[in-house]
């Protein structure tokens, strides 16, 4: 069977399936950052992507059992909807918001409020590096725990 396209025909491109949330997030971040024209001049992509990769790896490697003995490693657990959302993020605002909420959810039931804040701070620091070259502000910076809780419980 040939992949030849004829007038009036179309070819659907499937979104890739990922084995983990972190792989989906990492791939989408690379695509979104490469599209930002405003930051291309003088923006250190390799350092930025290394920071993102380090954050995702640290989240994935976090040992929750040592903290309270009853918590699983949730970054990739039950992540289908978030993986789909982050893979389809239209821009960095969407990407950061999905990950920010995911971090909140990860620690919500693991008595890890300190860890939650630590990782959210790291994410905000990473976002500010991109934001310096842009005019826009990221609204995810302003999300409160109550707003995230409402979205998690009503949605």
| Burial (0-12, 13-18, 19+ Cβ within 10 Å), 108 | middle
Question: How far is it, in rounded angstroms, from Cα 155 to Cα 149?
Answer: 10
Three-class secondary structure of residue 130 per DSSP: helix
Spatial neighbors of 129 by CB under 8 A, at least 6 apart, are 48, 51
Question: How far is it, in rounded angstroms, from Cα 120 to Cα 138?
Answer: 14
- pLDDT value at 75 more than 80: no
Spatial neighbors of 98 by CB under 8 A, at least 6 apart, are 25, 82, 85, 86, 89
Tell me the pTM.
0.74
b vs e for 74-87, b when ≥16 Cβ sit within 10 Å of the residue's Cβ? bbbeebeebbebbb
Chain center to CA of 38: 21
Q: What is the pLDDT of residues 7-44, one digit of tens each?
A: 666 666 555 566 788 888 888 888 887 777 665 566 67
Q: What is the pLDDT of residues 110-145, one digit of tens each?
A: 666 677 888 888 898 888 877 776 656 778 888 787
- pLDDT value at 96 more than 60: yes
- 3-state SS record for 38-94: HHCCCCCHHHHHHHHHHHHHHHHHCCCHHHHCCCCCCCCCCCHHHHHHHHCCCCHHH
């Amino acid at each position: 069977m040939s992949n030849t396209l004829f007038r009036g025909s179309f070819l659907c491109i499937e979104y890739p399936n990922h084995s983990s949330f972190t792989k989906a997030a990492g791939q989408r971040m690379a695509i979104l950052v490469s599209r930002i024209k405003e930051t291309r001049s003088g923006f250190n992509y390799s350092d930025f992507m290394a920071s993102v990769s380090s954050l995702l790896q640290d989240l994935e490697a976090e040992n929750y059992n040592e903290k309270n003995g009853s918590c699983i490693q949730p970054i990739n657990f039950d992540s289908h909807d978030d993986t789909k959302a982050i893979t389809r993020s239209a821009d960095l605002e969407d990407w950061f918001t999905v990950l920010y909420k995911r971090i909140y959810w990860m620690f919500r039931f693991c008595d890890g409020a300190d860890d939650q804040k630590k990782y959210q701070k790291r994410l905000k620091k990473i976002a500010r590096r991109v934001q310096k070259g842009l005019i826009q502000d990221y609204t995810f910076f302003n999300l409160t725990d109550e707003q995230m809780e409402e979205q998690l419980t009503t949605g």
